[in-house]
Chain A
Amino acid sequence: MADYDVIVIGGGPAGYAAALAAAANGATVALVEPERLGGACVNHSCIPTNTFTNALATHIDARELDVHGVIEAGERFHWARAVARKDVLVRLLAEGIGTALRQRKVRHLPGRASFRDPATIDIRGADGPSSLSAEAFVIATGARWEPPMIPGMAPEQVLTADSVLALPAAPSPALVLGGGPAETAFALEYAALLAGAGAAVTLAVPSERLVPALDAEIAQAAATFLSDLGVQVCCGWTPVRGDGVSVTLTNGEAEIEARAGAVVAVDARRPHVAGLNLVAAGVTAADRIAVGPDCRTNVPHIFAAGDVTGGAMLSGAAAHMGEVAGVNAAGGMAHTQLRTLPHLLHTVPELAWVGQSEAVARATGVQVRVGQADLSFNPRAVALGSRQGLVKVVADAGLGELLGVQVAGPGAGEIIAVAAALMQAEVTVDDLAAMVAWHPSMTEGLIEAARRSLG
């Protein structure tokens, strides 16, 4: 008789979703997490970044309040106050997760887990070592930042998301590095928020296009937004060396200098499997733990979910995978559905996409219809004070299937949520084109783009 039906290793979005799902399906569940609950999402990336990008957007709005005819506002962004607010909100959210776990009678065990054998883990925690057995396991240990080594720059000058938002002031001048294995493009958010906070920012991405997942015109719009915020955007450049006050970038042929007292690397993350002793469990893992659509590893009773499995390395995907893993660990038969996972970057204005870009869709050999709507003619966008923006709809020409939507502009989050829901429900582009929207609203831009795709 095992101690628990399911033991979950890791307390981030994948881990707590797995624990809650397994408990909801009748399993007795323990969750092992050495740090504060919430994982990187709550404590270091999504939530802290979101509080900052929101603070930044509010600051920019405030700067323009006199334009709206309200008041005249100050120019200064108070970084330390934003940090304090972020710390309060993060603690609140982490405590909320603890409450949700307790309500589901999930036992939270502080400590680090490693496998002793396929049915047992050893836990090293504050209360001393212990070992526990379970019928099934869910590994959700997430990812770790792996800041690049840049010769000539001191290690403390190379920052990751968890460290940059703990600083007393925005680092300036700063070099923000994009790219990374999952190409999550969070570097764009950091470039925007640092620039908005008054820092001199250079953004360097290794690819020719700012975000490889996006079509050229949308990526170009995003680059323009960042330039408007004062960010120096360098596409196709990677760092080679620094001297403490600047970093040399190369594109393979030429070299340029970027002033940088700090380097911010937020997208350089690797799945975290160290210390788990996966060999003892029989789980094979190279640089990540590979799983199928049911989130099962090569060992049938051991599941994995979230960043540790590689792939998208996004919190939304992690929570979804966690739920599937939790259901299956409790004996269910669920499978993941990540094709319609929306992406949303809180740059100013926002940048969002779901599904395939036109280039990707065409590369698969599909006949596509494409429609674009210019948001500078959208009344809601105009009322919000936006000067530019773009919605692009990509659909299968024969079937009318919505293959992808990309948005650059204010309210991109609103538009992409609608698009993702429609794609998940398998609504056709014709249906979308015939939809009724509130006027004035950003969603009108989506419907307009769909209509244009029909010609």
Chain B
Amino acid sequence: MAIAVLIPKLGMTMTEGCVAEWKIPDGGQVAVGEIVYVLETEKINFDVEAEGPGVVRHLVPEGTKLPVGAAAAYILAPGEVLPAGVQPAIPVAAAFPPVTAVPGTGAALGQERISATPIARRLANERGINLNQVAGTGPGGRITEADVLAAAQAPRAAAPVAEMAPASPLARRLAEQLGIDLHRVRGTGPGGRITKEDVEAAAAGPAVTAPAAVAVSRQTSPAAGAAIPLRGMRGIIAERMHSSLQEMAQLTLGMSVMMDEAVKLRGQLVQEWAEEGIRPSYTDLVVRAVAKALARHPRLNACIAGNRIELLSDVHIGVAVALDEGLLVPVVRDAGRLPLKEIAVETARLAAAARAGALGPDDLSGGTFAVTALGMHGVEFFTPIINPPNVAILGVGVIRSVTGWEADRPVQRQEMTLSLTIDHRAVDGAPAAAFLGAVRDLLEAPYRMLV
């Protein structure tokens, strides 16, 4: 499968980037993680890495400016050719293409003239096939009508536009300009159609803002009396948390959990995985319990789209990470399928990346449920605010020693309170309590989380 090497979006205001230098020559081999090209923006240079191994095929020469989200190159597996229909990326200067393509020239776009019959040219133009990617079988390699028809028959592997969510043309264009994946945008238009407003809302969300936060200078605690502007990350948190409470009917439920077994299990795992440098936290245990419980309580893993509640099939759990200048909610993807150990590895990576300002857009978008912990600060119970478009968030409190009773004998026990906020528009109290009970049961008998 051909992998597109895109112009990534590195900041809120970034709309285009320049392919400053190809690190892998056209036709060169690349391994996963190797730098394919150096991206130059107004502010910084950024190394774009290969997401898979293969042969690099450039679509543009060095020094070309491209809009965010455009493909600069493809990485092809051995024997693979460029997907049919892949056009060389259109330079930014021609962002408004001519309305009517002149037959026979549309495919060339400033490239060397390709040998092809007039009928082949017209056909390629009609079908949107790039003649660069068609092998000619005619005299001297000339491309014939049959060659174009064969290329048209070939499966269109250009996956980037496959199964696009229904979206208005304007929403599509804005998403392209902002580098937002429409699959992750919640549609509120007729029939769940994604509107311009939806894309703007997604752009204002943490998904895209986090890379911008990278540019925010690290601040030390401001002195008393100083004014902190509601800008940047602070402004986004202010706006989103306020609109969350404005929009949703939020209700918080508290439930106590006996943590003796979980404390014991974690202690053992910390020792056991110490050599590998993996240190599971209580939040990791909760994430694992939540991911398992959500599979049986899908109402909590949902979003409201227009007049419907959409139950989501994937479980991506956001984990709040506190920073000096605010807060980010990186996402553990497919948490339902990850064993506890991998969750621990992933949350550690996300937390470190968040603090280093090195989270990628993928790390920050698409969460379907969120977990936030204030236990380390001694908080027992609180009322977390839901991160839209989720319908629930679970707060993790401090583990404290309490006195319990075994028959008539007092015993010391470890107890923790979970704070679950739900959007009452989407979920009622009883099913929410059932979900919370399921999380509690898993934490009280944590061996069940290991299987």
Interface residues of A (CB under 8 A from B): 332-334, 398-401, 425-428, 430-431, 433-434, 451, 454
Contact = CB atoms under 8 A, between A and B. Distances in A.
B201 to A, nearest CB: 14
Contacts of A431: 169
B99 A400 contact: no
A333 B307 contact: yes
Given A332-B307, A333-B307, A401-B196, A428 B99 contact: no
B99 A426 contact: no
Interface residues of A: mostly helix, strand, loop or mixed? Answer: loop
Nearest to A428: B169
A428 B307 CA distance: 26
A25 to B, nearest CB: 11
A399 B168 contact: no
B164 interface: no
B173 A400 contact: yes
Contacts of B171: 426
A138 to B, nearest CB: 19
Q: Which of A398, A426, A428 has the most CB of B within 10 A?
A: A426
B168 A433 contact: no
B109 to A, nearest CB: 17
A428 B173 CA distance: 9
A430 B170 contact: no
A400 B96 contact: yes
Contact of A427 (B97, B170, B195, B425): B170
Contacts of B174: 399
Contacts of A454: 96, 99
Given A433-B99, A434-B99, 16 more contacts: A332-B307, A333-B307, A333-B425, A334-B307, A398-B177, A399-B177, A400-B96, A426-B168, A426-B195, A426-B196, A428-B170, A430-B97, A431-B169, A434-B100, A451-B99, A454-B96
Contact of B168 (A334, A398, A427): A427
Contact of B170 (A332, A399, A433): A399
Nearest to B15: A398
B99 A399 contact: no
A400 B171 CA distance: 11
B99 A430 contact: yes
Contacts of A428: 169-170, 173
Contacts of A400: 96, 170, 173
A451 B99 CA distance: 8
A426 B307 contact: no
A454 B95 CA distance: 11
Nearest to B174: A399
18 contacts: A333-B307, A333-B425, A399-B170, A399-B173, A399-B174, A400-B96, A400-B170, A426-B168, A426-B169, A426-B170, A426-B171, A426-B195, A427-B168, A428-B169, A428-B170, A430-B97, A433-B99, A434-B100
A230 B174 CA distance: 48
A433 B169 CA distance: 14
A434 B196 CA distance: 21
Nearest to A400: B173
Contacts of A433: 99
Interface string B166-183: 001111011001000000
Interface string B92-118: 000011011000000000000000000
A427 B177 CA distance: 16
Contacts of B168: 425-427
Interface in B79-94: none
Q: Which of B100, B169, B307 has the most CB of A within 10 A?
A: B169
B96 A430 contact: yes
B98 to A, nearest CB: 9
8 closest residue pairs by CB, A with B: A426-B168, A426-B170, A433-B99, A428-B169, A434-B99, A427-B169, A401-B170, A431-B169
